[in-house]
Amino acid sequence: MTGAWLSAGRRGLRALLLLVWVPAVAGCYTLATEVYSQSLPNLADPAQAPPVPPEIAPPRELAKMSLPDYRIEPPDEIQIEMLKMVPLPPYRLGVYDWLQIDVRGTLLDAPITSDPAQGGSARRIDTDGTIELGAPYGRVRVAGMTLDEARQTITTHLKAMLKFPEVSLQLAQGSAIQPVTELYRVGPDGTINLRHYGTVRVAGMTVVEAKEALERHLAQYFDSPEVSVTVSGYNSKVYYVVTQGAGQGDRVVRLLVTGNETVLDAISQVQGLSQLSSTDIWIARPAPAHFGCEQILPVDWDAITRGGMTATNYQILPGDRVYIAEDETMAVTNLIAKIAGPIERITGLAGLGASTVRNFQTLGRNYNRDRGNFGF
Among 6-15, 51-60, 228-237, 344-353, whose mean pLDDT is lowest? 6-15
Task: Record the pTM.
Answer: 0.66
pLDDT at 54: 47
Q: What is the pLDDT of residues 175-224, one digit of tens each?
A: 878 889 999 999 999 999 999 899 999 999 999 999 999 999 999 999 89
> Are the C-beta atoms of 213 and 293 separated by less than 8 Å?
no
247, 339 contact by CB (below 8 A): no
Segment among 131-140, 167-176, 234-243, 303-312 with least mean pLDDT? 167-176
Cα four-point dihedral sign 69, 71, 75, 81: positive
At residue 294, the pLDDT reads 66
User: In this predicted structure, what is the pLDDT of residue 7?
Assistant: 47
Question: Among the listed ranges 111-125, 218-232, 290-304, which one has the minimum average pLDDT value?
Answer: 290-304
What local confidence, expressed as pLDDT, does residue 352 receive?
Answer: 77
DSSP 169: E
Between the two ends of the chain, the Cα-to-Cα distance in Å is 58
Strands 294-300 and 166-173 come out as unpaired
Burial 207-233 (b: 16+ CB within 10 A, else e): beebbebbbebbeebbeebebebebee
Q: Pick 98-173's CATH classification: 3.30.1950.10, 3.40.50.720, 3.40.50.300, 3.10.450.50.
A: 3.30.1950.10
Q: How many helices (H) and strands (E) does the chain have?
A: 6, 15
Lowest mean pLDDT among 11-20, 213-222, 354-363: 11-20
pLDDT band at 266 (very low <50, low <70, confident <90, very high): very high
The answer to whether domain 77-87+177-233 has CATH 3.30.1950.10 is yes
- Cα–Cα distances in Å, from 343 out to 272, 348, 351? 35, 8, 12
Q: Enumerate the CATH 3.30.1950.10 domain ranges in the chain, comma separated.
A: 77-87+177-233, 98-173
Mean of pLDDT over the chain: 82
Structural fold of domain 2-39+54-65+237-329: Outer membrane lipoprotein wza fold like (3.10.560)
Lowest mean pLDDT among 64-73, 265-274, 340-349: 340-349
